[in-house]
Amino acid sequence: MGMTLLWTTHVLRIFMVIFAAHFIPWAKGISGCQPSHSIIVKCVKKDLTAIPSWIPLNVVSLDLSGNPLRKMREDFFTRFTNLKVLRLGYCGINQRLELPRSLTTIELEYNSISMDDVAAMFRRKSESQIELININGNNLMLDGNISIFPRSVKRLYLKGNILSKIESDDFEGLANLTHLDISHNGLRRIAKGAFKHLKQLTYIRLNDNNITELPTKIFELNPEIHTIDIGNNKLKILPDLRGIRQLTRLRLIKNKIKMVEGHTIGVRSIFHIDLESNEIEYFNLTGVKYHILDLTNNRISHINKGSLGDNPQIHALLLQRNKLNWKKVFNV
């Protein structure tokens, strides 16, 4: 009986040692980073200076955003052959990384990577499966370098870099692109036909740049676009948007537009038109179907009969902070 008890105790101790060796490191990882399960690891803002060793090799989604990782082995992530989503935003990274071929999403926003680093990451363009690239806020010199991105990319986020101009063939080879953000880049000039290769484009942000004018029919070959943001630029006239079927939102806030004529827009259906904080004195939206019209903070002093167009289903008309005499508007 005594020998049996001693043997059982010994086996139990061995089991506990094995359990500790295999499970405690993972348990520490869970308490520090809270992965939802073994193939999805989220380890955000944990003050990590190195990548945890307990991350499983079959991980599919890895989020290490907000950790001061800075330096790591260039080929570190290639060991994760099933990895599809890699998020490394706000990590202070200032080096190139070799990406696993399985990757479909890479987020590197607000780091210190260089244009050479980016080019090295995407050097195998023809083999890439990446559909989303986010390199916002890296202060990258993008002029003449947009062609480095792989043909597979569908969502390209370039906010907060340096792109002074877009030439007519800069986006050649990116025919799968649906979402494009080039806001906050200091953009001044867009050539005619700049987006002609982007037949699948549905969403574009050009806001917070230095654009003074856009070429005629700039989106003529982008009929699927539904959202355009050109807010906070220096446009003096409405852009010519002929070729687009219909828009969910057209955002033109904080420009220098003085007059709005519906027929010059070239799009017959726009759910939400946002013209807040321009210099508009006169508007006539005859010929445009819309549900929301925001003319807040302009210089409108009167509303002419018919200027709102034939829109029996207007959801919202915003006219505050103009020069309207409301007694005359309502015939009081």
Tell me the per-residue pLDDT of 215-245, one tens digit each, with 9 for 90 and over.
Answer: 999 999 999 999 999 999 999 999 999 999 9
Please give the residue that has the higher pLDDT: either 35 or 301. 301
Q: Which of 205, 155, 214, 168 is nearest to 185 (CA)?
A: 205
Contact status, residue 109 vs residue 137, Cβ threshold 8 Å: yes
Contact status, residue 194 vs residue 220, Cβ threshold 8 Å: no
Q: Which of 157, 151, 141 is nearest to 197 (CA)?
A: 151
pLDDT, tens digit, 9 for 90 and up, residues 42-54: 999 999 999 988 8
Contact status, residue 211 vs residue 232, Cβ threshold 8 Å: no
User: Would the pLDDT of 274 be above 70?
Assistant: yes
Bridge partners (DSSP) listed for residue 190: 166
Residue type, 34: Q
Contact status, residue 149 vs residue 133, Cβ threshold 8 Å: yes
For residue 146, give the 3-state DSSP assignment.
helix
Q: What is the mean pLDDT of residues 269-288?
A: 96
pLDDT at 328: 59
List the Cα angle 107/108/110 in 5-degree steps: 130
Place of tokens 């953000």: 181
Instruction: Name, in order, each residue with C-beta under 8 angstroms of 330's C-beta and a sequence gap of 6 or more.
Output: none
Q: What is the enclosing helix (H) or strand (E) of 179? A: strand 179-181
Tokens of 206: 């050009």
For residue 32, give the 3-state DSSP assignment.
helix
User: Would the pLDDT of 3 be above 50?
Assistant: no
pLDDT at 329: 57
pLDDT, tens digit, 9 for 90 and up, residues 133-171: 999 999 999 999 999 999 999 999 999 999 999 999 999
Task: For residues 308 and 284, give the distance between their C-alpha atoms in angstroms, rounded to a whole number.
Answer: 6
pLDDT at 140: 97
Contact status, residue 303 vs residue 284, Cβ threshold 8 Å: no
CA distances from 195 to 152, 169, 223, 233 (A): 17, 8, 11, 19
CA atoms within 13 A on the CB side of 327: 1
Tokens of 190: 């867009």
pTM, entire model:
0.88
